C-alpha cells in the first residue's frame, strides 16, 4: 500500500511572512522550517531589545523591526506569524487583522472562545484567513495517520490512545509554571487537537481530566507533572491521553494507537521515534517517513494557510475549526478543577 502524500506543500506564489514574537520557539522551529521550504521571511520583531539586537545575524536579509507596529504596516508582509506569549496573543491577532494581514497564530489562540468571536467576524468581513499553528497536525506520523483515517483505512474509529513516554520539557521556573493546569491547558493542546481530528464526524459528550503532583517532583514546581485526559463520544468512540510524569528513559517516544472497526494504526512521534504502521486484515504495512514534527510540522501549518489564501478557502487549521479544540481543552480544565469530575458537553468534531 502506498502512503498518501503527508509532506508539507506550498502554492507557487508564496506570500511574504512577518514573524511577530521572534523568541525561542520562533528561532528554533519557525525560522528553520521556513528556510527549509523556501518561505520568504520579510522581517521579524521581538518585544525584547536584547533579542532584537541578536536577530540581525540570525535572519539574514530580513528586516528586524523596532516595533510590532512597523511590522504590521509593512506592505511586503502578507502573513503575520504570531508567536507571542499566550496572554498577548489575541490582542496581536486582532491588530494584524485590522492591518489587513492573514494570520497564523500559535496555540492556544485564547482561553475564552467568546473573545474570539469579534476577531473572527472582522477577519471574515475583510476576507482574511485566520489560522492556528496546530503544527502537530503536520508532524509526519500524525499527518499520515490522519490521511489514512480519512481514507477509511481502519473503518470507523473506535478509540484513540496516546502515551507520553518521554521526559517533560523544562517547566519549573519558566512562564509555563504560571499557567494553571498547564499540561492540560497548554502542553497537551496538540494531543487533544490531533485526537479530535481522528474522531472527526462524531460528537463528544463527556470529557474527564485530572492532573497530580508526582513522586520526586521538586517543591518549587507549581504545576502538576502528571495528567490524563479522556473523552467519550456520542457513537461510543473513546480517547485517552496519558502523561505519567517526567519519565526517565533512554528511548523516549510518544506512541499512539488508532483502533477502528476494520483495522489499527499504531505509530509514534518525537525524539526520532517517528513511525506509522497500518494493520488491516492479514496485512501489516510499515511506512517509511521523511521529516519530523520539528521542523516540518511548522512548515505544514504555514503551507496550509498559504494554500487556503491561494485557493480562496478556509484552511484546515482555521481559527473557526479550532473552536472545537478550545471547547475540549476548556472542558478538560473544568474537569481537572473539579478533581476529575466528568464534564458533559456537546462538541461536534
Half-sphere exposure of 42 (CA within 13 A, CB side): 18
Q: Does 12 fall in a domain?
A: no
Residues 27-41: pLDDT tens digits?
999 999 999 999 999
Residues 273-283: pLDDT tens digits?
999 999 999 99
Do both 192 and 293 map to the same domain? Answer: yes
* Spatial contact of 153 and 265, defined as CB atoms under 8 Å apart: yes
- With a cut of 80, say whether residue 1 has pLDDT above it: no
Residue 240: CATH number of its domain: 3.30.360.10
| Dihedral over alpha carbons 212, 215, 217, 219 (to 10 degrees) | 90
Do both 93 and 167 map to the same domain? Answer: no
Q: Does 201 fall in a domain?
A: yes
pTM exceeds 0.85: yes
Do both 147 and 42 map to the same domain? Answer: no
Cα separation, 26 vs 58, in Å, equals 11
Per the structure, the complete domain to which residue 63 belongs is given by 17-135
* Spatial contact of 75 and 99, defined as CB atoms under 8 Å apart: no
Residue 106: CATH number of its domain: 3.40.50.720
- From 135, 160, 181, the end of a domain falls on 135
Do both 117 and 162 map to the same domain? Answer: no
Do both 303 and 198 map to the same domain? Answer: yes
Do both 128 and 140 map to the same domain? Answer: no
Residues 111-153: pLDDT tens digits?
788 899 999 999 999 999 999 999 999 999 999 999 999 999 9
Amino acid at each position: 500500500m502506498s502512503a498518501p502524500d503527508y509532506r508539507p506543500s506550498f502554492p507557487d506564489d508564496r506570500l511574504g511572512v512577518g514573524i511577530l514574537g521572534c523568541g525561542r520557539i520562533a528561532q528554533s522551529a519557525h525560522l528553520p522550517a521556513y528556510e527549509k521550504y523556501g518561505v520568504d521571511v520579510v522581517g521579524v520583531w521581538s518585544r525584547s531589545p536584547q533579542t532584537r539586537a541578536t536577530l540581525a545575524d540570525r535572519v539574514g536579509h530580513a528586516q528586524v523591526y523596532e516595533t510590532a507596529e512597523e511590522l504590521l504596516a509593512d506592505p511586503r508582509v502578507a502573513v503575520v506569524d504570531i508567536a507571542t506569549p499566550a496572554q498577548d496573543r489575541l490582542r496581536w491577532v486582532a491588530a494584524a487583522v485590522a492591518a489587513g494581514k492573514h494570520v497564523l497564530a500559535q496555540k492556544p489562540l485564547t482561553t475564552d472562545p467568546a473573545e474570539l468571536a469579534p476577531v473572527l467576524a472582522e477577519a471574515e468581513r475583510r476576507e482574511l484567513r485566520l489560522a492556528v499553528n496546530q503544527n502537530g497536525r503536520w508532524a509526519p506520523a500524525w499527518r499520515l495517520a490522519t490521511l489514512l483515517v480519512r481514507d477509511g483505512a481502519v473503518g470507523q474509529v473506535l478509540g484513540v490512545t496516546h502515551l507520553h513516554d518521554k521526559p517533560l520539557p523544562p517547566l519549573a521556573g519558566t512562564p509555563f509554571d504560571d499557567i494553571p493546569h498547564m499540561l492540560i491547558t497548554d502542553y497537551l493542546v496538540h494531543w487533544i487537537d490531533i485526537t479530535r481530528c481522528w474522531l472527526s464526524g462524531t460528537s463528544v459528550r463527556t470529557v474527564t481530566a485530572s492532573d497530580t503532583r508526582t513522586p520526586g517532583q521538586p517543591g518549587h514546581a507549581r504545576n502538576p507533572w502528571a495528567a490524563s485526559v479522556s473523552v467519550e463520544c456520542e457513537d461510543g468512540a473513546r480517547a485517552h491521553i496519558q502523561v505519567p510524569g517526567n519519565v526517565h528513559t533512554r528511548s523516549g517516544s510518544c506512541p499512539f494507537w488508532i483502533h477502528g472497526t476494520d483495522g489499527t494504526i499504531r505509530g509514534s512521534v518525537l525524539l526520532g521515534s517517528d513511525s506509522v504502521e497500518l494493520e488491516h486484515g492479514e496485512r501489516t504495512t510499515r511506512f517509511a517517513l521523511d521529516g519530523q514534527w520539528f521542523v516540518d510540522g511548522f512548515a505544514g501549518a504555514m503551507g496550509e494557510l498559504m494554500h487556503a489564501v491561494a485557493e480562496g478557502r478556509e484552511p484546515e487549521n482555521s481559527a473557526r475549526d479550532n473552536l472545537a479544540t478550545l471547547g475540549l481543552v476548556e472542558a478538560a480544565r473544568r474537569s481537572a478543577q473539579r478533581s476529575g469530575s466528568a464534564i458533559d458537553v456537546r462538541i461536534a468534531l
